[in-house]
């Protein structure tokens, strides 16, 4: 009889744990999107931006932002470095 209760309780616990998600959608890292001129941007709030190095060349950069629906995005793009002088 005890073995039967252990089996029943074990299966109930396993079923309950199978329905849980490890992270909710807000905590999951969004996929990285590559920018192109045809990319439609809906930026409501910038969350973070990568640091642009002091070099005189085109470098990769990233921006994490929230759109008007509150969904998070990571945008990868290329930008000119901050190391060029105007002399």
> Does the domain made of 26-80 have the CATH classification 1.10.150.120?
no
Where would I find the H helices in 19-84? Answer: none
Integer CA distances (angstroms), 61 to 2, 70, 75, in order: 61, 22, 8
Sequential pLDDT tens for the chain (87 residues): 666 565 656 666 555 555 555 555 556 788 999 999 999 999 999 999 999 999 999 999 999 999 999 999 999 999 999 998 765
pTM: 0.63
């Amino acid at each position: 009889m005890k073995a039967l209760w252990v089996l029943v309780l074990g299966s109930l616990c396993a079923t309950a744990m199978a329905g849980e998600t490890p992270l909710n959608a807000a905590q999951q890292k969004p996929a990285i999107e590559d920018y192109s001129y045809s990319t439609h941007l809906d930026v409501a709030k910038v969350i973070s931006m990568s640091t642009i190095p002091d070099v005189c060349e085109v470098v990769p950069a990233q921006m994490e932002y929230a759109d008007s629906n509150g969904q998070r995005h990571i945008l990868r793009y290329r930008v000119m470095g901050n190391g060029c002088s105007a002399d």
